[in-house]
Structure 1
Amino acid sequence: MDTTDLAQRIAAGERRALARGITLVESARADHQAQGAEVIAALPRNRQALRIGLSGTPGVGKSTFIEAFGMMLVRAGLRVAVLAVDPSSARSGGSILGDKTRMDRLSREAAAFIRPSPSRTHLGGVARRTREAVALCEGAGFDVVLIETVGVGQSETVVAQMADLFLLLLAPAGGDELQGVKRGIMEMADMILVNKADGDLKPAATRTCADYAGALRLLRKREQDPDGYPRAMMVSAMAEEGLETAWADMQALVEWRRANGFFDATRAAQARYWFEEEVREALLAQLRGADMRAAMDALGSRVAAGELTPAAAAQALIAGQAGQ
């Protein structure tokens, strides 16, 4: 494959080339991953999209919100990429990847690009190579990249390490109001959006929003936030209400962080985080080698027989590798 040609086509905004590039970086084959890295290295470095991570419990309306929000951005003249991560089956390893069917209006827009990807049981709510997919979308000239997590709960904080803004979408009267003071995903969010604030649910949404606004005031203020952030607000993806206000607040927060040096500092810290993650993955890959697998099987049999404790066996394995 001519990776230089593929990179040029991606930079020119060709959708099929972008899809091919994402397939390369998501592939488990080493040669595909190497080609994907070459493509990313050949892309323009002066393009920067606003990366927005979005998390929330299943059924909260993430796909509906992304479609309504994305349509608003497209109407404003922006190019929008959506990277939707679907959960993979722990038994079969398969994923439904049906996000395009839930965003039928946005998927037909020429200025939008939607790419569903399987999580492949990768923890943290995102896929293993979502960050590389974001880099490809930036190189393709998209203005905003929306990263939708699988939506499983309070452990989905990895997306905050690849996004400029982290949005937490909640449903009114979801039973979580009293848990708003919990750490974890709450302290990672830049904005909490209470969705479905329309019709009969609007009073409940108002109460939920007030509860979370109070919970946010209890959290320690972060230096990268101006006064009033993180904040909670109500939106309705179905009625398309509150979206423009939410977008204006997001832009205000990003501009403040840019002006005060936090935007670039955060991206630098994220790059370091992913460097360390790559080192960890490389070390784990060594454990999957034939020699290590045989040593682990032998020690595992002794652990199962009660001859060694798991901790002692692990130390023996590491010591044996260090002595080689």
Structure 2
Amino acid sequence: MSIDIAQLERGIVKGDRRALSRAITLVESTRPDHRAMAAELVEALKGADGVDRQALRIGLSGTPGVGKSTFIEGFGGMLTGQGLRVAVLAVDPSSARSGGSILGDKTRMDRLSRDPNAFIRPSPSQTHLGGVGRRSREAVALCEAAGFDVVLIETVGVGQSETVVAEMSDLFVLLLAPAGGDELQGVKRGIMEIADIILINKADGDLKSAASRTCADYSGALRLLRKRPQDPEGFPKAMMVSALEDTGMQPAWGEMQALTKWRRENGHWDARRAAQARYWFGEEVRQGLLSQLATPEARAAMEELGAAVAEGRTTPAIAARELLERIGAGVWNG
């Protein structure tokens, strides 16, 4: 596949969806030559037209079956109705066995997928920790360069490792269904501590009273958490929404805007973006080091040393040290 980086760059800056899709496919590729081109493209897009484009990045997580796709379709439609351009990066779970994904988010958001001001891109998680593809951060940067005002990053589901989405988001929204105390116990404290807004979905019909109780439970739980410097008075908070009836969406959006405005005015926005850039630098270094273990030479050495450990001829610590010394020296024999 021939890739013209300059042509891709021009297309993205003009908001060409086809160019954006091709660019995201490029950054998701694991081929070394594609990785080099992807890095070149992302670098070229930084202020490509003289404008530093910054979208509002909203990370969205929630328990399975909570209605994330229905919420995103309603919420995204409300934003496009206000003249905003919305990109949705929906990460689908990958099979640990085959690596395959269903990638059905686009079919679940049929109405939003046909909206000219919306762009939906399902991507496989590829078994990455946190349910966020390793290259999701670069895909977010591409969407910003394409002129989208809001980028929604939907993750696989709730879990301790899901907090990685906070490292590429300006706001983190946790979507929960009406439930009793059992769900409050089941949600990890780590997720609670990074959430900016908790939305109790399905607050309609027979579930409305249960949603109200759940909202009160979480509001009380949030007040017990340690105050964070990046929060104004009253945050983080819990609110009720109904994706089915499209209620509560505008108040939730209003709170997101208020929080964003306060963080910009008080220096937390730029500080957070800087901290995230440092975090991803560290991740790139770690992933680069791990990739050295995937070479044929490293795999052969691991097999050889692993057999020695299994037979009791050496210890795991000594074998690991020898492998690392071989990698550092680039020596694979003897």
1:21 is aligned with what amino acid? A
- Matches of 1:103 and 1:256, distance apart in 2: 32
Match of 1:295 in 2: 301
Q: Choose which of 212, 219, 229 in structure 2 pairs with 1:213.
A: 219
Match of 2:184 in 1: 177
- Matches of 1:116 and 1:26, distance apart in 2: 12
Match of 1:13 in 2: 15
Match of 1:271 in 2: 277
1:87 is aligned with what amino acid? P
Match of 2:136 in 1: 130
**Superposition pairs of residues 300-319 of structure 1, within 5 angstroms:** 300-319=306-325
- Matches of 1:306 and 1:58, distance apart in 2: 45
Match of 1:39 in 2: 41
Is the CA contact 2:292–2:327 (under 8 Å) kept in the aligned structure 1?
Answer: no
Instruction: Point out where structure 2 has 5 or more consecutive residues left out of the alignment.
Output: none
- Percent of matched pairs sharing the same residue: 71
Is the CA contact 1:168–1:193 (under 8 Å) kept in the aligned structure 2?
Answer: yes
Is the CA contact 1:11–1:44 (under 8 Å) kept in the aligned structure 2?
Answer: no
Is the CA contact 1:8–1:43 (under 8 Å) kept in the aligned structure 2?
Answer: no
Is the CA contact 1:125–1:152 (under 8 Å) kept in the aligned structure 2?
Answer: no
2:21 is aligned with what amino acid? A
Q: CA deviation at 1:34?
A: 1.6
Q: CA deviation at 1:128?
A: 1.2
2:127 is aligned with what amino acid? T
SS for the counterpart of 1:53 is strand
Q: Choose which of 123, 137, 162 in structure 2 pairs with 1:117.
A: 123
Q: Choose which of 68, 76, 82 in structure 1 pairs with 2:74.
A: 68
SS for the counterpart of 1:115 is strand
2:185 is aligned with what amino acid? L
Is the CA contact 1:53–1:146 (under 8 Å) kept in the aligned structure 2?
Answer: yes
Superposed CA deviations along residues 300-322 of structure 1, whole A, max 9, x for unmatched, are 00122233332332123224444
Match of 1:161 in 2: 167
Q: Choose which of 72, 87, 100 in structure 2 pairs with 1:81.
A: 87
Is the CA contact 1:56–1:153 (under 8 Å) kept in the aligned structure 2?
Answer: no
1:236 and 2:238 correspond: no
Q: Choose which of 171, 190, 194 in structure 2 pairs with 1:188.
A: 194
1:270 is aligned with what amino acid? Q
- Matches of 2:104 and 2:241, distance apart in 1: 24
SS for the counterpart of 1:114 is strand
Superposed CA deviations along residues 140-195 of structure 1, whole A, max 9, x for unmatched, are 00000000001143331000000000000001116312356x52111011111110
- Matches of 1:208 and 1:151, distance apart in 2: 19
C-alpha distance 13-322 of structure 1, shift in aligned 2 (>3 A): closer
TM-score (norm 2): 0.94
Q: CA deviation at 1:262?
A: 0.4
Q: Choose which of 30, 33, 46 in structure 1 pairs with 2:32.
A: 30
Superposed CA deviations along residues 115-161 of structure 1, whole A, max 9, x for unmatched, are 00001111112011000000000000000000000114333100000
Q: Choose which of 80, 103, 106 in structure 1 pairs with 2:109.
A: 103
Is the CA contact 2:70–2:244 (under 8 Å) kept in the aligned structure 1?
Answer: yes
Number of aligned positions between the proteins: 323
- Matches of 1:320 and 1:155, distance apart in 2: 32
Is the CA contact 1:198–1:239 (under 8 Å) kept in the aligned structure 2?
Answer: yes
Deviates more, 1:151-160 or 1:162-171: 151-160
What is the CA RMSD across the aligned residues, in angstroms?
1.4
Deviates more, 1:226-235 or 1:153-162: 153-162
C-alpha distance 323-82 of structure 1, shift in aligned 2 (>3 A): closer
Is the CA contact 2:130–2:159 (under 8 Å) kept in the aligned structure 1?
Answer: no
- Matches of 1:250 and 1:57, distance apart in 2: 21
